[in-house]
């Protein structure tokens, strides 16, 4: 009967999670102790290094996590690549809690009951932690590119900072890229530069488009004939919130516009080999990855 296991508006109930967790913990401890089962509400992974459990965890991962993090945990348009450094903590206990409680301020929901889908038990969460450990890149190869040169390109010749912000500096038309180096795979970053319109940023939750902005391009003609183009910030059946190319915010009632044209194309130009050589591309990625992991 899966009604909306992933696209549900995630009940972002920090309070509930906080209330339930101790109860769940106590309950697990009691039952666990009585049955002589491994105790899951602990900070130590009871399955650490167990290859069989990692396989079970892979299926749990497919069921619960792959929708955003991709098959193989290599990330997708929605969730970070989990085979590399994790911004929100890398210890088993931290990963466990990130899954169990979600990560505030991000689209990562709590996986327990009341969170996403059918919920995951502590045991299943540890299985997934074991799986993530098994696919982790142990000693990540340093990006081939030159991060310092990448930074120069970003803020200079490549023009990235015209539309993208890093650590509070740059433009507003495109996504903030401060953490993108950690949250997206290299392949995704390459694709985003070479063919930015192939995949727009993807939301996770249809409800209120909680992770809403897909950076669709929009052109409107207002009632008094002014022509504007830019990116969609949000919209519904009746209204449009947009930034024009000069970063001016416009709020429209659609029925008062003379025309409205929306394109599922990125406002970003495609950086082909002529515009951005493979070497420069590598340098940019090295730069994004050097700051993203911090």
Partner 1 sequence: MKGGLNALKEKSRFLSRKTHGFGMTIGGHAGAALLIYVIGGGLSSMASAQVSSQRLLDSAKEPQNWLMYSGNYAGHRYSTLDQIKTSNAGLLVPKWAYQTMAGGKFETTPLVVEGVLYATGADDRAFALDARSGRPIWQYQRALPPDIRPCCGRVNRGLAILGDKVFLGTLDAHVIALDTKTGNVAWDVNTVGGSDYNRGYSITLAPLVVKNLVLIGVSGGEYGIRGFVDAYDAATGARKWRFYTVPAPGEPGHETWEGDSWKIGGAPAWITGTYDPATNTTFWTTGNPSPSNRGEGRAGDNLYSNSLLALDPDTGKLKWHFQFTKHDEHDYDATQVPVLVDDGDRHLIVQANRNGFFYVIDRASGKLLSATPYGRVTWSNSKDASGVPIERKEASPTLAGVPVCPGAIGATNWMSPTYDPQTKLFYVSAREQCDIFSTAPQPYEAGHAFYGSAYFPNDDAQPFWGAVRAIDPTTSQIKWEMKHLSPSWSGVLSTAGELVFTGDAEGNFMALDAATGKILWHFQCGASVYASPMTYAIDGQQYVAIAAGSTLFAFGLP
CB-neighbour burial class of residue 289 (10 A; exposed 0-12, middle 13-18, buried 19+) = buried
Work out whether 194 is an interface residue with partner 1 (CB under 8 A): no
* Closer Cβ to partner 1, 56 or 165, answer by number: 56
Find the binder of partner 1 among 142, 227, 263, 264 (CB under 8 A).
Answer: 264
Q: What is the smallest separation between the CB atom of 52 and partner 1, expressed in angstroms? A: 12
Q: Which of 32, 77, 159, 171 is the binder for partner 1 (CB under 8 A)? A: 77
Binding string, 1-20, against partner 1, x = CB under 8 A?
xxxxx-xxx-xxx--x---x
Range in contact with partner 1 (rule: CB under 8 A) among 62-70, 139-147, 156-164, 272-280? 62-70
* Euclidean distance between CA atoms 190 and 192, whole angstroms: 5
Residue from the set 50, 85, 94, 121 that interacts with partner 1 by CB under 8 A? 121
Size of the residue set binding partner 1 (CB under 8 A)? 48
Question: Could you tell me which stretch among 92-100, 155-163, 203-211, 223-231 binds partner 1 (CB under 8 A)?
Answer: 203-211
Query: Among residues 99, 120, 177, 193, which is the contact residue for partner 1, using CB under 8 A?
Result: 120
Q: And the tokens for 8?
A: 């549900």
- What are the DSSP calls for the chain, one per residue? --SSTTTSPP---HHHHHHHHHHHHHHHHHHHHHHTPPP-SSSS-TTTT-HHHHHHHHHHHHHHTHHHH-GGG---SSS--TTS--TT--SHHHHHHHHHH--TTSS----STTSSTT---HHHHHHHHHHHHHH--SSPPPPSS-HHHHHHHHHTTT-GGGT-EETTEE-SSS---TTHHHHS-HHHHHHHHH-TTTS----S-TGGGSS-----EEEEE-TT--EEEEEEEEE-SSEEEEEETT--EEEEEGGG-SEEEEESS-SSPP--TTTS-HHHHHHHHHHHHHHHT-
Q: According to CB under 8 A, which one of 187, 206, 253, 272 is a site residue for partner 1?
A: 206
Q: Does 114 bind partner 1 (CB under 8 A)?
A: yes
Which one of the spans 58-66, 92-100, 132-140, 270-278 is the region binding partner 1 (CB under 8 A)? Answer: 58-66
Cβ at position 286, least distance to partner 1 in Å: 26
Q: Which of 30, 33, 48, 71 binds partner 1 (CB under 8 A)?
A: 71
- Point out which residues bind partner 1 (CB under 8 A): 1-5, 7-9, 11-13, 16, 20, 23-24, 27, 56, 59-60, 62-64, 66-67, 71, 76-77, 113-114, 117-121, 124, 198-199, 202, 206-209, 214, 235-238, 264
């Amino acid at each position: 009967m899966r009604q909306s296991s992933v696209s549900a508006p995630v009940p972002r109930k920090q309070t509930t999670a906080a209330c339930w967790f101790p109860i769940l913990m106590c309950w697990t401890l009691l039952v666990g102790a009585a049955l002589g089962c491994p105790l899951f509400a602990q900070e130590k992974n009871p399955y650490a290094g167990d290859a069989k459990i990692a396989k079970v965890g892979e299926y749990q991962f497919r069921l619960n996590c792959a929708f955003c993090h991709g098959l193989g945990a290599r990330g997708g348009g929605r969730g970070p690549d989990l085979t590399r450094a994790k911004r929100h903590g890398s210890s088993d206990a931290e990963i466990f809690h990130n899954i169990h409680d979600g990560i505030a301020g991000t689209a990562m929901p709590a996986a327990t009951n009341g969170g996403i889908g059918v919920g995951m038990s502590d045991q299943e969460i540890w299985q997934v932690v074991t799986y993530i450990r098994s696919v982790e890149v142990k000693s990540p190869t340093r990006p081939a590119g030159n991060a310092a040169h990448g930074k120069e390109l970003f803020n200079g010749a490549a023009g990235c900072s015209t539309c993208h912000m890093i650590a509070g500096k740059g433009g507003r038309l495109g996504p903030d890229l401060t953490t993108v180096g950690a949250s997206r795979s290299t392949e995704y970053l390459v694709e985003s530069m070479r063919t930015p319109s192939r995949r727009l940023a993807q939301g996770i939750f249809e409800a209120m488009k909680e992770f809403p902005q897909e950076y669709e391009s929009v052109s409107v003609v207002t009632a008094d004939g002014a022509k504007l183009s830019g990116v969609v910030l949000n919209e519904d059946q009746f209204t449009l919130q947009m930034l024009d190319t000069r970063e001016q915010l416009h709020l429209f009632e659609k029925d008062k516009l003379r025309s409205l044209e929306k394109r599922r194309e990125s406002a970003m130009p495609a950086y082909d080999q002529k515009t951005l050589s493979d070497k420069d591309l590598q340098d940019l990625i090295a730069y994004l990855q050097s700051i993203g992991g911090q």
